[in-house]
């Protein structure tokens, strides 16, 4: 009787190469198409075209696309990976480049090393242009900004210029970053020993942001800035009050503040309830004038009442202290009232707003997931240019999530999640009838609704220069 071989598994008996144009990063074409069709990539050529000295090499636009796609891919953090990509015809087709015009690692290194320190402010100008673009697209009735330092741990890297000990007891860099929601809208790349409110960096950054928002978006939009206790400085408070900006800044528990709070009876504290019945806080507000101050400012102190369903003893309750100009009769109160956000001056709303700083700090974690902390160059100027390119790539990554991938992948997804779900797709690039087509498995096409994403990538909001 003949053996039945119909149920035999399809074992692989041999392996061989192919000259077909295949790629394992088919999803990256959506990002490249988004950059080109939205006219975003032209901004880099406008600012950095003068760097190109020889027309025989790659254009600035092509180099920037290579770098942004490398960040978006996130497969390797080593610049030598560009040499591997240069030999991959499938990857070249996916990012819409000719195989013979792929950038090598030496090309990328020369680009970063050609940007002197005096040119790095150009990156900040691009960030601000992109910020104004998104601001005018979303048209918020209230702008809430956050200021904080992000420590970049370079302790295990080889010797780097300006890598200094940070407050986290790690050697690295300490850039000052301003965020708006999930976007990093401005930054100053600094050596590791610089503290939060070092010099006049903070004041200059705030002035710049406020001027742009009121000049290029809306003059009457209320602006609130949240900061931790590292920015507890009367000079900064005066500047913010002069600009008509609201602030919620972490305070410091000096001896006299501790004694004052300890002297207040528990019955005088009000209760604040969080998202659950187990999340209960006690709070008290008072006016405070430090010795060097000439005016009183509104101070709010709160402490947890319960922890893990257990009552905390009064002496063991960790507290939080903030200072704010909300509810002090200043210009920001009038702006909040006119825009329908007058409730934000209430004490409980100030507490809720400061608690949201935890979400603001998640932006830094997401940036490190998108890029990396250890920078590749020894010179500070080259590392500075590299850092700003990483910020720009991260900004565009967040824009891409909102404008293209949102129907399939939520905007809250981390870079790693989006890469694994949308980027790591097998694809085949074929030429037929004077057209170039990207073919992907039918199951993936249906699961991700890839056709819709591809169409969305070409219809995103365009960056206008008017």
110 Cβ contact partners less than 8 Å away, ≥ 6 residues apart: none
Instruction: Say yes or no: 289 and 350 in one domain.
Output: yes
Q: How confident is the model at residue 359 (pLDDT cuts 50, 70, 90)?
A: confident
Domain housing 165: 118-370
Instruction: Say yes or no: 190 and 51 in one domain.
Output: no
Q: Provide the edge-to-edge strand list for the sheet that holds 164-165.
A: 152-153, 171-173, 164-165
Q: Is residue 131 a contact partner of residue 212, using CB atoms and an 8 Å limit? A: yes
Among 335, 370, 405, residue at a domain's last position? 370
What pLDDT score does 3 carry?
A: 55
- Assigned domain for 12 exists: no
What is the signed CA dihedral for 152, 158, 159, 160, rounded to 10 degrees? -40
In this prediction, residues 103-130 reach a mean pLDDT of 92
Q: Provide the edge-to-edge strand list for the sheet that holds 435-439.
A: 22-23, 427-432, 435-439
pLDDT digits (tens, 9 = 90+) for 256-307: 888 888 788 877 888 776 666 667 778 888 888 888 888 899 999 887 766 6
What pTM value is reported for the model?
Answer: 0.91
Q: Is residue 208 a contact partner of residue 395, using CB atoms and an 8 Å limit? A: no
Q: Is 425's pLDDT higher than 80?
A: yes
Instruction: Say yes or no: 284 and 236 in one domain.
Output: yes
Q: Is residue 288 a contact partner of residue 296, using CB atoms and an 8 Å limit? A: yes
- Assigned domain for 274 exists: yes
Instruction: Say yes or no: 64 and 193 in one domain.
Output: no
How far, in Å, CA of 168 to CA of 159, rounded? 19
How far, in Å, CA of 394 to CA of 278, rounded? 37
In this prediction, residues 30-56 reach a mean pLDDT of 85
Instruction: Say yes or no: 330 and 448 in one domain.
Output: no
What pLDDT score does 452 carry?
A: 92
| Comparison of pLDDT for 12 and 386, the residue scoring more | 386
In this prediction, residues 107-111 reach a mean pLDDT of 92
Rg (CA), the chain: 26
Q: Is residue 384 a contact partner of residue 120, using CB atoms and an 8 Å limit? A: yes
pLDDT digits (tens, 9 = 90+) for 154-199: 888 777 888 899 888 889 999 999 999 999 999 999 999 998 889 8
**Percentage of the chain surpassing pLDDT 70?**
93
Among 370, 393, 421, residue at a domain's last position? 370
For residue 200, give the CATH number of its domain. 3.90.350.10
Instruction: Say yes or no: 225 and 289 in one domain.
Output: yes
- Assigned domain for 275 exists: yes
As a whole number, the mean pLDDT across the chain is 88
Instruction: Say yes or no: 129 and 237 in one domain.
Output: yes
Instruction: Say yes or no: 237 and 109 in one domain.
Output: no
Q: Is 369's pLDDT higher than 90?
A: yes
Please classify residue 372 by burial: count the beta carbons closer than 10 Å to its beta carbon, then call 0-12 exposed, 13-18 middle and 19+ buried.
middle
- Assigned domain for 5 exists: no
How far is residue 398 from each of residues 226, 274, 402, measured CA to CA in Å?
Answer: 21, 29, 7
Residue 401, both tokens: 């999530």
Going by C-alpha positions, the residue among 23, 26, 27 that lies closest to residue 401 is 27
Q: How confident is the model at residue 105 (pLDDT cuts 50, 70, 90)?
A: very high
| Comparison of pLDDT for 319 and 148, the residue scoring more | 148
- 117-121, 146-150, 257-261, 352-356: which has the minimum mean pLDDT? 257-261
Rounded to 5°, angle at Cα 288 from 282 and 291: 140
Number of domains in the chain: 2
Among 370, 404, 423, residue at a domain's last position? 370
| Comparison of pLDDT for 387 and 320, the residue scoring more | 387
- Assigned domain for 342 exists: yes
Instruction: Say yes or no: 125 and 207 in one domain.
Output: yes
Q: Is 389's pLDDT higher than 70?
A: yes
Helix (H) or strand (E) holding 62: helix 60-73
């Amino acid at each position: 009787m003949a053996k039945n071989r119909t149920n035999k598994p399809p074992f692989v008996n041999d392996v061989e190469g192919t000259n077909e144009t295949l790629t394992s990063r088919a999803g990256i074409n959506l990002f490249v198409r988004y950059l080109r069709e939205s006219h975003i990539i032209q901004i880099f050529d406008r600012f950095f075209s003068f760097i190109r000295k020889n027309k025989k090499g790659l254009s600035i636009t092509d180099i920037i696309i290579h770098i942004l796609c490398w960040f978006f891919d996130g497969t390797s953090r080593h610049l030598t990976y560009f040499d591997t990509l240069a030999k991959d015809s499938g990857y070249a087709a996916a990012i819409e480049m000719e195989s013979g015009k792929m950038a090598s690692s030496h090309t990328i290194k020369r680009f970063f090393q050609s940007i002197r320190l005096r040119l790095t402010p150009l990156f900040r100008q691009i960030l601000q242009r992109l910020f104004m673009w998104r601001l005018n697209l979303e048209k918020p009735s209230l702008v809430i900004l956050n200021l904080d330092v992000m420590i970049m741990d370079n302790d295990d890297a080889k010797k780097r210029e300006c890598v200094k000990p940070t407050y986290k007891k790690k050697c690295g860099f300490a850039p000052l970053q301003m965020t708006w929601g999930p976007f990093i809208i401005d930054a100053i790349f600094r050596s590791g020993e610089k503290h939060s409110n070092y010099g006049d960096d903070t004041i200059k950054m705030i002035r710049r942001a406020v001027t742009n928002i009121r000049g290029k978006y809306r003059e009457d939009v209320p602006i609130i800035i949240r900061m931790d206790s590292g920015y507890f400085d009367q000079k900064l408070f005066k500047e913010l009050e002069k600009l008509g900006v609201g602030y919620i800044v972490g305070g410091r528990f000096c001896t006299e503040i501790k004694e004052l709070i300890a002297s207040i009876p528990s019955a005088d504290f009000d209760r604040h309830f969080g998202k659950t019945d187990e999340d209960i806080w006690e709070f008290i507000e008072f006016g405070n004038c430090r010795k060097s101050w000439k005016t009183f400012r509104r101070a709010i102190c709160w402490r947890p009442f319960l922890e893990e369903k257990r009552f905390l003893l009064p002496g063991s309750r960790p507290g939080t202290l903030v200072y704010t100009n909300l509810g002090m009769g200043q210009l920001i109160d009038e702006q909040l009232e006119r825009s329908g956000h007058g409730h934000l001056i209430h004490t409980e709303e100030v507490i809720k707003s400061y608690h949201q700083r935890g979400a603001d700090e998640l932006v830094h974690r997401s940036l490190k997931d998108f890029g990396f902390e250890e920078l590749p160059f020894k010179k500070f100027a080259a590392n500075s240019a590299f850092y700003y390119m990483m910020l720009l790539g991260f900004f565009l990554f967040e824009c891409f999530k909102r404008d293209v991938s949102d129907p399939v992948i939520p905007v809250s997804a981390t870079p790693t999640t989006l890469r694994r779900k949308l980027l790591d797709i097998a694809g085949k690039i074929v030429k037929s009838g004077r057209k170039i087509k990207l073919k992907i498995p039918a199951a993936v096409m249906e699961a991700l609704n890839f056709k819709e994403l591809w169409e969305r990538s070409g219809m995103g909001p365009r960056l206008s220069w008017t």
